Amino acid sequence: MTLLNPSWTAVLYLAAAACFILALRGLNSPRTARRGNLLGAFGALLAVVTVFFSVKLDNIPWILAAIAVGSAVAAPVARRVKMTQMPQLVALFNGVGGGAAALVALLELAHTEDAWVRVAIVFTLLVGAVSFAGSALTFAKLQELMTTRPVVFPGLPVIMGAVLLAAVGAAAAVVLTGSFALALVLLVLGLLAGVLLVLPVGGADVPIVISLLNAFTGLAVAASGLVLGNVLLVVAGTLVGASGTILTRAMAAAMGRSVAGILFGAFRGGSTAGSTAVSDRPVRSSSAEDVAVLLGYSQRVIIVPGYGLAVAQGQHTAAELALALEARGIRVDFAIHPVAGRMPGHMNVLLAEANVPYESLKEMSEINSEFRTADVALVVGANDVVNPAAKTSPGSPIYGMPILEVADARQVVFLKRSMRPGFAGIENELMHEPQTTLLFGDAKDSLTKVLGAVKGL
């Protein structure tokens, strides 16, 4: 017996779907992102409650136990994760979604004789397995549990092609026979394909692959909705798949590259290499007091945050420095590159946490023309997104990527821990230009010293 009739179930599913759509709309802007997140969470809760009261469920104790265990693990992890580890968390959650869809499809195989449902099952099984294995590998790369460089070995393209052909053959056999053993073979081939897909990707390309795998998970979930006859799963999975695809294309465009070039660039040496070689070329370094004088007697300062700021947790100090400069009548803005950090919106979230006004966060298209009017561009922990090699070096792995035009500012100050290159693993010629000064040290420590010196002017 169920408590909800089909009409009420449809109404509640429609309300949940509307929440998901409004959530995506809210996540479009930092100002509405928190509300969008809450709407999405409420939609998911509404969907789960509706399923409980509209379907005759078996094994309810096991279901509740699984929910309790999952919540007990995920909630503390989500609350304690550092801002710099958010991409890893996204990769893990994404992989779990894909893996769950694949397991549901595997278990549903024995309950259907319909060939079209079996087509949906093999699609869910293969794509979900690819997403799970690929996401697990991206987590390992971002967490530096393995090399972040592209891993390529002789015969990799041939092996990948053979695995995909074998997967197509196994999928066809499962549709024709309904064999559980062949479905297990397909699952293993999907896991292998996921590993082979991510191995050649390295450096700054890894976050884009996370977004692509997120789209894969959405498609797998949508297909699992067809398997289970659940309309809401189809809608939610399609939304995730579509938004993940759009985000992937947008991130690739922000780097001036194609998605295929990112996935398979390493085969021809075009992927970001992730080199850690430290340059020994001379640069002009300065003290915190000198940087404070430079900033304190400017009229216009643009701060460019990067992953180094997130690692140092210097966002609050950067916000305080901006306030101190504004108190002296200096106009200060933050320039945000679309792929700064390790995921889209990373810098927006970081600076919002420090209560930097949204009006002070300027997207690349908006701020680039203003660098030529800036007295100082203060680059804090960023590198690749301001590297002129993206415009001047056709052989560079970031060639073609739109960058923040900090070189147009009258003075450029880099706050860096060392001369180690950025995530793309290439040297930044801007650091050797006459108008550039470097202040070495932890970003938060350097900002604290500069802030103290500015207050003492």
> Would you please indicate which residues are annotated as catalytic (active-site) residues?
384
Q: Which amino acid is at 329?
A: G
Cα 236 to chain centroid distance, Å, stands at 20
Amino acid (1-letter code) at residue 364: M
Q: Return phi, psi of residue 285, to 5°.
A: -100, 165
What is the H or E stretch that residue 46 is in? helix 33-54
Hey, how many other C-beta atoms are within 10 angstroms of the C-beta on 432? Answer: 14
Is the distance from CB of 109 to CB of 176 less than 8 angstroms? no
Task: Kindly state the helix (H) or strand (E) to which residue 415 belongs, with its residue range.
Answer: strand 411-416
Strand partners, 413: 378, 437
Contact 347, 358 (CB under 8 A): no
Three-state secondary structure call for residue 363: strand
CB under 8 Å, gap of 24 or more: what pairs does 295-298 form? 295/321, 295/325, 295/330, 295/376, 295/378, 295/413, 295/450, 295/454, 296/325, 296/328, 296/330, 296/453, 296/454, 296/457, 297/457, 298/325, 298/330, 298/375, 298/376
**Residue 327 CB neighbour total at 10 angstroms:** 10
Residue from 32, 10, 11 nearest 22 by CA: 32
Where do runs of H (alpha helix) occur along 281-369? 288-296, 307-312, 315-327, 346-353, 364-367
What is residue 399's three-state secondary structure?
coil
Q: Could you tell me if 209 and 262 are in contact, meaning their C-beta atoms sit under 8 angstroms apart? A: yes
User: What are phi and psi for residue 301, nearest 5 degrees?
Assistant: -125, 135
Contact assessment for residue 89 and residue 73, using Cβ atoms and an 8 Å cutoff: no
